[in-house]
Structure 1
Amino acid sequence: MKYVMNPRPTIDESLIAPFREMKDVWSLSCVVGDAMERDNVMRHDMKPKAADKKIIGPAITVRLTAGDIVDCLGVFEIAKPGDVIVIDAFGETETSIWGGLMSGLARNAGVVGAVIDGSCRDTDEARMLDFPISAKVCGPRAAHTAYSGRKEPIEINVPITCGGVIVNPGDLVVADEIGVVVVPYKDLAEVYTRAREQADKEAATREEILRGATVEELLAKFGRI
């Protein structure tokens, strides 16, 4: 059976930190998605299932095997504080591969969230832990690991597909109540500049709207709404 554990990529936190500072920006996933000209936006069904808080951090990727879903316990051997665990479970909807104990382990490791192209469960426990999860669905059926003890096949820190988007280890994940977007690591500086400019422009536009500005005035001043 296949078990792959690649090293955690070297991540320059100075490229990640500015995005973390945008946690109070309204509709952050939209702003970052717009800054990438709508690229790297996950499917609409990737939504929060637990704690109501944003997820912002570099990806630790996990690829499972369709039809043979196991728990990804090995990921805690390399996860670091600030990481986001991103799991390609092939959109499996009937077997959950993340539960409350996984949320507890992740929180203890300093992981800031999980994004799962598949199913999670124990979302009440995740809310109690204040641990955010974005996933395709949630349901009570567990993976077989708890019964068989088998934790293979699994691949960690390889390129994956999650929510219809390619995710590489170290790419930035931004998730909120609206959805999930992924910023390629190599594009972080450029995308941040665009996202910050858009967020500031939108904040200024909101102020003008509250003052009663018309559509024509807004377009003349900002060029878009």
Structure 2
Amino acid sequence: MDLDPSIREALAGVSTATLTTVLLKKGLRNVWMRGTRPIRPGQPRLVGRAFTLRFVPAREDLATPESWSSPISTRAAIEAMPEGCITVVDAMGVTDAGIFGDILCARMARRGIAALVTDGVVRDLAGVLGTGLPVWCSGAAAPPSVAGLTFVAWQQPIGCGGVAVFPDDVVVVDDDGAVLIPQALLAAVVEAAVEQERQEGWIMGEVEGGAALPGLYPPNAENKARYEAWKRGS
């Protein structure tokens, strides 16, 4: 399912920090994927639907180099990814086996995948960086995935960094990591998040002008009225 361009554009202007606050107000506390750090500074904020991949612990009869040629493989999964998706990989937090290397990331970049997000690590770090694919992960390790993991499926519910991720949920990534927006809450979250960003922009302007925080952040009734008047005039 494609993501509406207007929603993508709106979320591109909303930080993951704001999103976690908005989701907290809606009762969702566990939406930030632990261990998902940008592989390089300055990667753009990106928005996309989740395309999920799942690993389980390595089992010697299954986690072999021969498995890379199986119909159920990371190679096959990459060919099923739609353009513009954000690939979210459940690597169980394993940090001593790289799930993807430079060749797989190069293919993802070539196919127009927006980003790779995982609670695990990548390998061939210099090569991965050279592909230009934006990656959020826990670092790098030389051993291949089969040294510690068995790939089992794609487009199933997964856990990534302790967060439940379902196919077609929406993921936003920026310098603070990766945040999940449940598909069912998308419209309400977008509306609230855009408004919160606008209000916090106004508050920042007040702070830069010397205003004190009590009654301003969060705004009391007087400051809410001032903000609404500013909004009408802007």
Same fold (TM over 0.5): yes
Task: Determine the C-alpha separation between the residues in 2 that align with 1:39 and 1:91.
Answer: 20
Q: Partner of 2:139 in structure 1? A: 137
Corresponding letter in the other structure for 1:195: A
Corresponding letter in the other structure for 1:82: G
Partner SS state of residue 118, structure 1: coil
Partner SS state of residue 215, structure 1: coil
Larger % of helix: which? Answer: 2
Corresponding letter in the other structure for 1:187: L
Corresponding letter in the other structure for 1:105: R
Q: Are positions 1:56 and 2:47 aligned together?
A: yes
Task: Determine the C-alpha separation between the residues in 1 that align with 2:121 and 2:112.
Answer: 22
TM-score (norm. length: structure 1): 0.81
Partner SS state of residue 22, structure 1: helix
Q: Partner of 1:18 in structure 2? A: 7
Q: Partner of 1:212 in structure 2? A: 210
Q: Are positions 1:179 and 2:177 aligned together?
A: yes
- How many correspondences in the alignment? 205
Q: Partner of 2:123 in structure 1? A: 121
Q: Partner of 1:193 in structure 2? A: 191
Q: Does the 8 Å CA contact 2:35/2:119 hold for their aligned counterparts?
A: no
Task: Determine the C-alpha separation between the residues in 2 that align with 1:83 and 1:128.
Answer: 20
Q: Does the 8 Å CA contact 2:86/2:117 hold for their aligned counterparts?
A: yes
Q: Does the 8 Å CA contact 1:50/1:131 hold for their aligned counterparts?
A: no
Task: Using the aligned pairs only, state the percent identity.
Answer: 25
Task: Determine the C-alpha separation between the residues in 1 that align with 2:47 and 2:156.
Answer: 20
1:12 Cα offset (Å): 4.7
Q: Which has the larger radius of gyration?
A: 2
Task: Determine the C-alpha separation between the residues in 2 that align with 1:125 and 1:200.
Answer: 39
Task: Determine the C-alpha separation between the residues in 2 that align with 1:12 and 1:129.
Answer: 24
Q: Does the 8 Å CA contact 2:57/2:150 hold for their aligned counterparts?
A: no
Q: Does the 8 Å CA contact 1:114/1:134 hold for their aligned counterparts?
A: yes
Corresponding letter in the other structure for 1:142: P
Corresponding letter in the other structure for 2:56: T
Task: Determine the C-alpha separation between the residues in 1 that align with 2:176 and 2:185.
Answer: 22
1:138 Cα offset (Å): 1.6
Q: Does the 8 Å CA contact 2:33/2:119 hold for their aligned counterparts?
A: no
Partner SS state of residue 50, structure 2: strand
1:130 Cα offset (Å): 2.6
Q: Does the 8 Å CA contact 2:114/2:133 hold for their aligned counterparts?
A: yes
1:121 Cα offset (Å): 2.2
Task: Determine the C-alpha separation between the residues in 1 that align with 2:165 and 2:33.
Answer: 13
Deviation string for 1:116-154 (max 9, x for gaps)? 121112333333333211112321222349xxxxx9742
Task: Determine the C-alpha separation between the residues in 2 that align with 1:102 and 1:20.
Answer: 28
TM-score (norm. length: structure 2): 0.78
80-89 or 16-25: bigger deviation? 16-25
1:206 Cα offset (Å): 1.2
Q: Are positions 1:46 and 2:48 aligned together?
A: no
Partner SS state of residue 21, structure 2: helix
Corresponding letter in the other structure for 1:55: L
Q: Cα gap change, 1:24/1:121 in structure 2, threshold over 3 Å: closer, same or farther?
A: farther
Task: Determine the C-alpha separation between the residues in 1 that align with 2:9 and 2:57.
Answer: 33
Q: Are positions 1:35 and 2:22 aligned together?
A: yes
Corresponding letter in the other structure for 1:36: L
115-124 or 165-174: bigger deviation? 115-124
- The gaps in structure 1 that reach 5 residues or longer are 1-10, 146-150
Corresponding letter in the other structure for 2:29: D
